[in-house]
Amino acid sequence: MKTEKLIFTSITAAAVCLLACSKENSLRNNNVSNASFASAQPENVVTNICDQFSYGDTIFYPQELPNDYIIHTLTPLSGTFGCFPDELKMNPLNGDIDITEGETGLKYIVWFVPTGTTDTCRKFITVSGIDYTDSIYTLKNKPGVAKPVYNSTPGLSSGSNAEFDDGHDDDDGDGFLDEPPTGQEVIPQGVALDKSTGAINLRQTIANGALGPNPLPGTFKDFVLNYRISDKSVKTLNKLSFRLYYFQNKTQIPARLKKQLAAKKSQVILNDGSTQNFTLSAPVFTSITNKNGTGEVKCRPPYIIVVQQ
């Protein structure tokens, strides 16, 4: 009975996020509204409000500022705000988004329900950075290379003069306050990472002992990758955590982990490299058990599952 209540609660909570994704086919000009508002209101009321729902841009880059980088709607709006996936730090009352504290390298649907209506207005925004695809890599007869996805666009280069696996070194000549903590570099931990592209050679990573000299099936470890990109972030320090798993063969991968992988992948919105349109699988919301009871499967950190053969 407790399990059924837990599943019901999870599905109910998920429905709120799903509301933001339910009108996919109505999308036009990166804006959407629905006519499900009170019949006493003119049809253009909610449409006009949705037209006002804007952050002034669609891509936001990390910035090196004295305080957190917070973006606001161009016009103050009354209602409820939310996002999908929920990796942004967002104020549900006024729509303020803390870019500094949210996850970078993801594309989001941000949504707004105007006061007095049940309609949902949507926008897409991207917080610049990289991500790794949640995937299973089989090393038999190939090295297995995990390549970063920049700005949610497969195949898009992060440009030249990028620095992946930045350490506690004052390489930009402005002191150490904007440098990552010591001991986080992944290359000294055995991760065979290309510092200019962020690509990871997984065969070499396992051989280097990143998961230990003789990892047992199911061994995993979380890493923090600090990096700087020469885009509009002007090499502001950025970071991404990723989890590396090891198994000798695919049959050893637990069904629970496979379900988590599918749920995580369903929450990642990707751009098509040629058309800049997006593809979004139907969101899968589920609950997993942890030491505190339940927890929601999130799209971060990405899971890189290495299978020997």
Where among 105, 127, 149 does a domain terminate? Answer: 127
Domain that holds residue 41: 2-127
Looking at the structure, do residues 38 and 85 belong to the same domain, yes or no?
yes
267-281 average pLDDT score: 64
Looking at the structure, do residues 102 and 165 belong to the same domain, yes or no?
no
Where among 71, 100, 127 does a domain terminate? Answer: 127
Looking at the structure, do residues 79 and 221 belong to the same domain, yes or no?
no
Number of domains in the chain: 2
Looking at the structure, do residues 83 and 144 belong to the same domain, yes or no?
no
Looking at the structure, do residues 226 and 123 belong to the same domain, yes or no?
no
Looking at the structure, do residues 153 and 301 belong to the same domain, yes or no?
yes
Q: Is the pLDDT of residue 90 over 60?
A: yes
pLDDT of residue 284: 39
Indicate the range of 155-159, 201-205, 239-243, 275-279 predicted with least confidence: 275-279
Q: How confident is the model at residue 48 (pLDDT cuts 50, 70, 90)?
A: confident
pLDDT of residue 127: 98
Where among 63, 95, 127 does a domain terminate? Answer: 127
Looking at the structure, do residues 182 and 265 belong to the same domain, yes or no?
yes
Looking at the structure, do residues 7 and 54 belong to the same domain, yes or no?
yes
Looking at the structure, do residues 301 and 164 belong to the same domain, yes or no?
yes
The tens digit of pLDDT for each residue in 50-74 reads 999 999 999 999 999 999 999 999 9
Looking at the structure, do residues 72 and 182 belong to the same domain, yes or no?
no
Looking at the structure, do residues 92 and 140 belong to the same domain, yes or no?
no
How far apart are alpha carbons 306 and 298 in whole angstroms?
A: 20
pTM reported for the whole predicted model: 0.80
Looking at the structure, do residues 73 and 146 belong to the same domain, yes or no?
no
6-25 average pLDDT score: 39
